[in-house]
Amino acid sequence: MATIVWDWNGTLLDDVPVCVEVENRLLARRGLPLLTVERYREIFTFPVEDYYRAAGLDLEKEHFPTVAEEYITGYNKAVEGRGLYPGARQVLEQLRHAGWRQVLVSASEKGALAEQVESRGVSGCFEAILGVGDVLAAGKAGLAGEYLHREGIAPEEAVFIGDTLHDWEVAQALGCRCLLIAQGHQSRARLAESGAEILEDITQVPEALGRGQKVV
């Protein structure tokens, strides 16, 4: 059985407006210039400390975990009203019925992640939901790698689908094929730096999978 490893934020969950809104609250409290969505998609990156610095936060004066906690508290409240991208649920169901094993991996804290997935009615599409153990947004490659190893899934039998250059880096580290969707947290121009196949939106995923790896 071939496997899809999905990223969550910005790939399936349409949360970019929430991230800009919450970040702008942090910036406003500190008297700093606010971000536009376009600017956000140009500077968002991993590790998130680098993104916070690019947004204008001074992590020499503020403790990063404290800022991260402030951000994630606001995010978890604001994201409640956000749904999946149009067509995402249908794509997940289509691929599940076609025989793909689907796994979700995220830099989000695992408890919050599981709650977000369950509340949007798609938890049944995934054989595993993998999140990190704290709010510091690290460890996606390790989570995915451990799962593939534990389940005996060869890298060439897996496809990683995400929306950032970090997702491509994770796929490279795992040895998986990568598809990047240009409607999430980074601009299409930035994603093009990877050389990975880029899709305009999630509804193009089944066709893209058909051009490469097949269900076995």
* Cβ pair 83, 14 in contact under 8 A: yes
Q: pLDDT-derived band of residue 216, with 50, 70 and 90 as boundaries?
A: very low
pLDDT tens-digit series, residues 164-206:
999 999 999 999 999 999 999 999 999 999 999 999 999 999 9
pLDDT tens-digit series, residues 82-129:
999 999 999 999 999 999 999 999 988 888 899 999 999 999 999 999
Q: Is the pLDDT of residue 209 over 60?
A: yes
Question: Which H/E stretch holds residue 97?
Answer: helix 88-97
- Say if residue 71 is exposed, middle or buried (CB neighbours under 10 Å; 0-12, 13-18, 19+): buried
* CA atoms of 123 and 30, how far apart (whole Å): 38
* Cβ pair 144, 5 in contact under 8 A: yes
Q: How does DSSP classify residue 198? A: E
* 3-class DSSP assignment, residue 98: coil
Question: Which H/E stretch holds residue 110?
Answer: helix 110-119
Q: What is the pLDDT of residue 108?
A: 83
Q: What is the pLDDT of residue 211?
A: 79
Average pLDDT, rounded, for the chain: 93
Torsion 140-180-154-94 (CA) sign: positive
* Cβ pair 76, 56 in contact under 8 A: no
Pick from 101, 94, 123: nearest CA to 206 = 94
* CA atoms of 9 and 27, how far apart (whole Å): 21
Q: How far is CA 139 from CA 17, 24, 28, 46, 111, in A?
A: 24, 26, 30, 11, 15
pTM listed for this prediction: 0.92
* CA atoms of 115 and 49, how far apart (whole Å): 25
* Cβ pair 120, 83 in contact under 8 A: yes
* Cβ pair 171, 178 in contact under 8 A: yes
